[in-house]
Structure 1
Amino acid sequence: MLSGLTSRILLTLSLATPLCTTADITTGEPEELRDLHYGDALFQLYQQNYFPAIVRLLAARKQGLMQAYADEPELLLGGLYLAYGMPNTAEGLFNRILQNSKSPEVLNRAWLQLGKSRHRRGNMKAAKSALNQIDENLKPEANDEKHHLSGLIGLLQKNESDALADLNKISQQSEWTLYGRYNQAIAYLRNDQPEKVLALLQEIGSGIDENDDNEAKSIRDRANLALGYLFLELQQPANAQQALQRVRLKSPASSQALLGLGWASLQLDQQEQALPPWQLLAERNASDPAVLEAKLAIPYVLSQLAAEQQSLQGYRDAIATYDASLTQLDQLLSQVRDDTFPDNLLVDNDTGIDSPKRSLLSYLLSGNAFQERLQDYRDLGHMEKNLQQWREKISSYRTMLSNQLVAYNQKLPRVDEHLKGENLNQVVDRKEQLKRLYEQVATTEEPPFALANQQEKAWIERINKIKRIIKQHDTGGRLAPQREMARLMEGILTWRIATEHPARVWSLKKQMIELEQNIETAHQKESELAKARAEAEGRFDAFSSRIEQLEKALPGLHRQVKALRQDETELLREMALERLEQRRSLINNYLVQARFGVANLLDISSARAGEEK
């Protein structure tokens, strides 16, 4: 019953390898935002809205924005392309960065991203070549990621010595340490060095840290699971129990751990102790292969303990479970073959799908390969919906453009009137008047009344009128007091104007400067307005042409995306059918064994009855 443990160990260990294949689209430590458009793209990125983030980056790049960040937006865009499953496009972008950038840091990051892109496409030789271009100036965390990726490439190329050399370079303080140590265990296992494998897995599995995140806890669980099965392979069941008992009950690896605990007890000839973990496992959902195996193992042990009635009942329960699983499997297969697949499986319908069938569906949807294809299908669905919305909205853009053109034609006469410059000419004349006045008063020692304000000018006129009246009617000096009063008033007014003369000259100069600035600004705005006036019709024609091009291109793009989505549907269907047929084969195998167990027990019972008779 312990055959196949080695393959189970390798399968368990290999679960760590995909962890580095996801695209790196982080932007490093937060820093001061220097461009609003880049910040908008980052906002969408941190909301995990990758498609809107790509759209905003492309739109800003088209308009020549985000200059403050050099090649940073391009690196971010490449990472988004990788995350969106577009390695070819991402690689082309990284190659352009490598050709144009002169920053060592940017070049290193581009080479790293290029290596990840090629690794994702399965081109290991080219990925390794890209990683070899990176110098030692890479930041520590990125450098650890580089060594981890290089180690994985070595494992995929079955070059364990190179893989170990790279994995050993990962810093002990890095977040890649656990993954690196885990993958070292794979290399040592392939090199048939069980002592080093045991030491590494023991170090990972027993090194529980309160600061571990969920990924670290999951890695430790899988390390303990692999360690337990390796001890079973080495016929060390007591050590296997210690390792398997460290696996968390809520961990995805707990079912296999409970199954292994039972086999460890059997190796210790403790048949009764094998039952509790298997009975606990058997209560779980039958979509888990470990549960199906436990359903068969329990009556097998009971038969060894001579509990024939309980064993018979256990086999019958197992047969009922397998029959129910096959029925659910047939229903799921029918849904997979249906024309509405895979949308019919993705609808959240708790009332229409019972719990066992939903669990079986979870089994179908699990697995990296299927999940990646399913994500591609969803992304294409999002694009198809987006294109459909654009097909519906594009006519409204044409209407908006027509309205803008009508509004422009209505405002055009006022623009042309403004471009004649009559108002500006008046301002220029005013400036010339002030200039002449300034030249007149700035060089005069005796301040003239030219800078007098309106009230002072009225007073001057009134005093002059009084002086004329006195002169006309003064006979014999009778109006001498009035003449003296007028002279005194004129002196006070003259003294006031003379006192304020420097300030008034400065104020006049300030007015001239402000007018010159206003005139310069007006000339600039007139130039811009004239340029906009000249370009307006061409801009309207360009918008109209672009809308027309989009109207023609959108149907073709829509059909192309629909065709690609249909291709993804067929690939998903093939993968689902293959996966479900594998499950059917497994269940049928267990079903045959269970029926054989029932037949064997019935034969034993019949033979005993014949002897008694």
Structure 2
Amino acid sequence: MGAVIPKWCRWSFVAAVLFSSTNLAAKDEPLTSVADLRYGVALYEYYQEEYMAALAELMVAKERGGINGHGDNPEIMEGGFAVGYGMERHASDIFLRLLEANRPQHVRDAAWFFLAKLRYIRNDFDGAKEALKNVRPFPSKKMRGDVFALKINLAIQQGKLKLAERYLEKRDPGVGWQPYMYYNLGAAWAREGNYTKAIYYFDEIGKSRFIDEEHVALFDQAMTAAGYAHLLLEEYPQAIEKFKKVRLNSDTSNRALLGYGWASDRLGNHNDALDAWTHLSNSNLLDASNQEAVVAVPFAYERLGAETLALRSFKEAEQKLLAEIDSLDKIIVDMQNDKLIDVLRIKRSHGLDWLRYAEENDLAPQLSYLVQLFSRDEFQSSVLELRDLLAIKEDMQLWKSKLNFYMAMVNSREFERAKRAEALAENDLFGEIGKLVKQRSELTRKIETTAAEKDYFALASGNEAELIERIKRVQRNIELLRETDPFIDEYDEAARRYYGILLWESSEKFSDRMWRVVKTLSSLDETIRDVRKKHKDVEAILAEAEDLEPYKVTIQQLQSKIDHALVQVDMVLEKNKASIRYQIVEILNIQRGRLTHYLAQSRLAMARILDRATRGEGRRDIEAYESTLTAPGDNPGDNGDGQPVAAEKKAPKKSIQTETETETETETPEVNP
């Protein structure tokens, strides 16, 4: 059973590394600068609590040649992340590799401490102790408290409680650790049966004033454990005082209220016990304390002599227990199917407080049975691993989709390149350029001929060119008709006059038209140059474009790696889910066994009461007490005039056997929040 540690401790190892590395960097450069951008990105992701992204950044950087300018810090950081994610073998390899080389002392301290922590997690306490011996007596301030706390927890786990006490007396592990050390020592002494010592350390926690929820919850747990320790020492008034200090809205309030009832019962205050147990029995039966209270209420009535009320309460308890057993059976069947993720509703987040998991994640009500299971080291590690595996799978699927996009982009680029080559081939730019050159030559010849011959009509166009052609045709016809038509001279004069007008107009426009033709020639030259340049550029693109095949090969290799990794992640996920499912079903079966035990007690008690009633025993007691007692669900501690009901005779010491009397560890559990 693991020791209680602060819930922030999971990533404190990486924080210690970062603190020590920034101290070293401060000697040479400002704290706001880094020598390698990738290291800076990893630090940024860490401080944003994006631990998976930070780890991925470090591993990608290592794959691409490593991080320069920061010494061993990136490797230590990676090892710290590996510890946080439960990658114990990978972390161990990193730290051993650092220790094999000649490294600075601060690096060796961090590596030995991480190795000690890893061995502690694996329950290799002797190995952890040997690793801690290699850490300096006074390591860096940031990790000093962690090192000292680990020494105390090691002594506790090895059963050397006196040594742990000497450690704690010799040096204060710090405000963040001290309450947990007190609790762990108290729980350890309780397991040894030394309840007086256990109470002493639980009371030490009570001497401090806490504001934050985590420490206040630890205080409630300590007071509950101290109360049960007093119960086992038969110090009932002191037990009641401890139980009264527990908040009603705390996670241990039900357990404290149950203990308060037993302490009151032992003092003969049966009505106070009945009040406490009735309150618990009216709540749902998801909590073991409520289950015990369901049977304790009729037991209290029986001790008071109100056997009719006791019989009725036992029957009600039987119905409640049967309904709860039926509900548990359905949950157990669901857990056998692949509904684990849906039922647990695990979401990707930066950190989880499993003590409040049910409330924050809106679990199915019946799964609150698992609150105690959530507090176990093994189960907590399994669920955290499951959450991290789901996050890794999500990231890999995202990377896979990105690679598919990159491959589609490369294929698209390759297609466009082929399309351009095909278009170039189809367009026959060489032929187009030849046509343009021929057209230019003809235009140049025309310009030269026109300018040399002063052919004003050569540049005419449109209606003007048509009129010129018509007048020329008329002149030809006049020559053919001159010998036969006596009036031909008149027509000839008119034709010559009209021809002269057209010639004059064309001569007036000749210079402008010649300028325009020359300009057209210049435009044609420019077009030819552009076409030739375009053709040259296309040829260069096709000839000099980067080869896309290596990119395709790289992407395909990465796709293959991710597919292989996804298969491995799925295999580990299934193994992890099977482990969690087994643990859950095991706990649910234990809960079912407890409910069945209480059900058997209820039925046995009913048979006992009915047997006495059949023989006529206890009739006067029943009549006497039924006149003063209220029905279940009202206030059984009030007889109507504000005074509590008193029993006519002192109740016997012997009561039904409860888990409180048989399992010390249940009252002083050591959990890893």
| Fold shared per TM-score above 0.5 | yes
Q: Write the mapping of 1:55-454 to structure 2, written as runs, cut at 5 A.
A: 55-64=56-65, 66-100=67-101, 102-171=103-172, 173-189=174-190, 193-205=194-206, 207-210=207-210, 212-346=211-345, 356-360=365-369, 367-401=376-410
Give deviations 1:325-383, integer Å, cap 9, x for gaps: 11110110111111343434437999xx9964353465665643223212222322333
Question: Counterparts of 2:580 and 2:264 in 1: how far apart (Å)?
Answer: 41
Residue identity opposite 1:28 in structure 2: F
Contact preservation (8 Å) 2:220, 2:246: yes
Q: Secondary structure at the match of 1:135?
A: coil
Q: 1:604 and 2:619 equivalent?
A: no
Question: Counterparts of 1:405 and 1:126 in 2: how far apart (Å)?
Answer: 59
Question: Counterparts of 1:152 and 1:20 in 2: how far apart (Å)?
Answer: 17
Q: 1:22 and 2:10 equivalent?
A: yes
Residue identity opposite 1:133 in structure 2: N
Structure 1 residues 177 and 609, CA gap change in structure 2 (3 angstroms): closer
Aligned to 2:576: 568
Question: Counterparts of 1:354 and 1:341 in 2: how far apart (Å)?
Answer: 11
Structure 1 residues 67 and 101, CA gap change in structure 2 (3 angstroms): farther
Give deviations 1:193-226, integer Å, cap 9, x for gaps: 4443332222212x1414x422221222222112
Q: Which structure has the higher relative contact order (CA within 8 Å, separation 6+)?
A: 2
Aligned to 1:40: 41
> How far did 1:112 drift?
1.3
> How far did 1:144 drift?
2.2
Question: Counterparts of 1:263 and 1:111 in 2: how far apart (Å)?
Answer: 49
Stretches of structure 2 that go unaligned for 5 or more consecutive residues are: 23-30, 348-357, 419-543, 621-673
Q: Secondary structure at the match of 2:246?
A: coil
Aligned residue pairs, count:
471
- Percent identity over the alignment is 28
Give the structure-2-normalised TM-score: 0.63
Structure 1 residues 223 and 337, CA gap change in structure 2 (3 angstroms): same
Question: Counterparts of 1:610 and 1:262 in 2: how far apart (Å)?
Answer: 25
Q: Secondary structure at the match of 1:249?
A: coil
> How far did 1:318 drift?
1.4
Residue identity opposite 1:16 in structure 2: V
Q: Write the mapping of 1:448-527 to structure 2, written as runs, cut at 5 A.
A: none
Contact preservation (8 Å) 1:287, 1:363: no
Structure 1 residues 73 and 407, CA gap change in structure 2 (3 angstroms): farther
Contact preservation (8 Å) 1:154, 1:162: yes
> How far did 1:559 drift?
1.8
Structure 1 residues 183 and 310, CA gap change in structure 2 (3 angstroms): same
Q: What root-mean-square deviation, in Å, do the aligned CA atoms of Structure 1 and Structure 2 show? A: 3.4
Question: Counterparts of 2:337 and 2:136 in 1: how far apart (Å)?
Answer: 53
Q: Which moved more, 1:290-299 or 1:378-387?
A: 378-387
Structure 1 residues 323 and 573, CA gap change in structure 2 (3 angstroms): same
Give deviations 1:129-186, integer Å, cap 9, x for gaps: 1111100341235222112112222222333344334344441643111112222324
Give the structure-1-normalised TM-score: 0.69
Question: Counterparts of 2:401 and 2:5 in 1: how far apart (Å)?
Answer: 44
Question: Counterparts of 2:96 and 2:413 in 1: how far apart (Å)?
Answer: 42
Question: Counterparts of 1:585 and 1:157 in 2: how far apart (Å)?
Answer: 32
Question: Counterparts of 1:92 and 1:366 in 2: how far apart (Å)?
Answer: 29
Question: Counterparts of 1:279 and 1:101 in 2: how far apart (Å)?
Answer: 67
Structure 1 residues 610 and 70, CA gap change in structure 2 (3 angstroms): closer
Aligned to 1:511: none
User: Over alpha carbons, which structure has the higher Rg?
Assistant: 2
Contact preservation (8 Å) 1:148, 1:166: no
> How far did 1:86 drift?
0.5
Give deviations 1:259-306, integer Å, cap 9, x for gaps: 111111122121112112222222333110000001111110111112
Structure 1 residues 283 and 609, CA gap change in structure 2 (3 angstroms): closer
Structure 1 residues 187 and 391, CA gap change in structure 2 (3 angstroms): closer
> How far did 1:609 drift?
8.3
Question: Counterparts of 2:417 and 2:117 in 1: how far apart (Å)?
Answer: 51
Question: Counterparts of 2:213 and 2:617 in 1: how far apart (Å)?
Answer: 57
Aligned to 2:633: none
Question: Counterparts of 2:318 and 2:3 in 1: how far apart (Å)?
Answer: 31
Question: Counterparts of 1:240 and 1:299 in 2: how far apart (Å)?
Answer: 23
Contact preservation (8 Å) 1:114, 1:127: yes
Stretches of structure 1 that go unaligned for 5 or more consecutive residues are: 1-10, 410-534
Aligned to 1:497: none
Question: Counterparts of 2:594 and 2:333 in 1: how far apart (Å)?
Answer: 19
Structure 1 residues 59 and 355, CA gap change in structure 2 (3 angstroms): closer
Residue identity opposite 1:74 in structure 2: E
Structure 1 residues 21 and 536, CA gap change in structure 2 (3 angstroms): farther
Contact preservation (8 Å) 1:204, 1:223: yes
Q: Secondary structure at the match of 1:16?
A: coil
Contact preservation (8 Å) 2:346, 2:387: no
Contact preservation (8 Å) 1:112, 1:134: yes
Question: Counterparts of 1:274 and 1:397 in 2: how far apart (Å)?
Answer: 70
Question: Counterparts of 1:61 and 1:186 in 2: how far apart (Å)?
Answer: 45
Question: Counterparts of 2:609 and 2:43 in 1: how far apart (Å)?
Answer: 67
Structure 1 residues 354 and 200, CA gap change in structure 2 (3 angstroms): closer
Residue identity opposite 2:59 in structure 1: L
Structure 1 residues 589 and 600, CA gap change in structure 2 (3 angstroms): same
Q: Secondary structure at the match of 1:69?
A: coil
Residue identity opposite 2:14 in structure 1: I
Question: Counterparts of 1:41 and 1:381 in 2: how far apart (Å)?
Answer: 21
